[in-house]
């Protein structure tokens, strides 16, 4: 499984993570640098890891209320946000600026709005699909970058949008 994650307290780094599993053995690659671990589940969302050089450590993972992931490996805690492909592209295009800070959700790539799945005034959780955008002959789910109330929807089904066009506006908290 390959995905991108925004890591750090302010989401200052976007990293590519790939996890391959063959039974108990897992291979983790971070930006192309890989390591192999023998992972034994000890409880739900908790593992005992035997890593390179025979080092043993306990690890756990959980989803936080804001949609971020919390991973603890030994005494170290890491927080990260899993990114869908559109969000990862948008971050790359804007130099990595955090979508969580702004009140507007903008189109990462040009396309056509197929479906709108929320209404103005509705409260949404981080990660919820807000609309479906067709781009490059693919349907892309556009997800909420943060939880909050939808203040305005600036597009309609069937409408063409360009990169950077405002799709949804969030109410300021």
Residue 117: what pLDDT? Answer: 96
89-148: pLDDT as tens digits: 666 655 554 444 447 888 878 899 999 999 999 999 888 899 999 987 888 888 888 888
Three-class secondary structure of residue 139 per DSSP = strand
The structural domains of the chain, with segments of one domain joined by +, span 2-83, 85-170
pTM of the model: 0.48
DSSP secondary structure string for all residues of 29-63: EETTEEEEEEEEEEETTEEEEE-GGG-EEEEEEEE
10-54: pLDDT as tens digits: 555 677 777 777 777 777 776 778 888 888 889 998 989 887 778
**pLDDT-derived band at 1, boundaries 50, 70, 90:** low
Distance between CA 145 and CA 125 in Å, rounded?
9
69-80: pLDDT as tens digits: 788 888 888 777
Fold of 2-83: Glycoprotein, Type 4 Pilin (3.30.700)
CATH number for the domain whose boundaries are 85-170: 2.40.50.100
Is-same-fold flag (2-83; 85-170)? no
Number of H helices, E strands in the chain: 1, 16
């Amino acid at each position: 499984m390959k995905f991108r994650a925004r890591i750090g307290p302010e989401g200052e780094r976007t990293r590519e993570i790939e996890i391959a599993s063959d039974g108990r053995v897992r291979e983790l690659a971070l930006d192309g640098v890989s390591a192999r671990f023998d992972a034994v589940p000890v409880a739900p969302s908790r593992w005992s890891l035997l890593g390179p050089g025979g080092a043993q450590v306990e690890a756990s993972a959980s989803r936080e209320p804001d949609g971020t992931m919390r991973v603890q490996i030994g005494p170290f805690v890491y927080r990260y946000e899993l990114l869908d492909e559109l969000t990862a592209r948008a971050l790359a295009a804007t130099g990595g600026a955090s979508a969580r800070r702004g009140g507007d959700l903008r189109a990462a790539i040009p396309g056509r709005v197929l479906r709108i799945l929320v209404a103005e005034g509705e409260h949404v959780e981080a990660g919820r699909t807000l609309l479906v955008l067709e781009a490059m002959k693919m349907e892309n789910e556009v997800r909420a970058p943060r939880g909050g109330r939808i203040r305005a929807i600036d597009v309609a089904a069937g409408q063409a949008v360009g990169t950077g066009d405002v799709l949804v506006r969030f109410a300021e908290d």
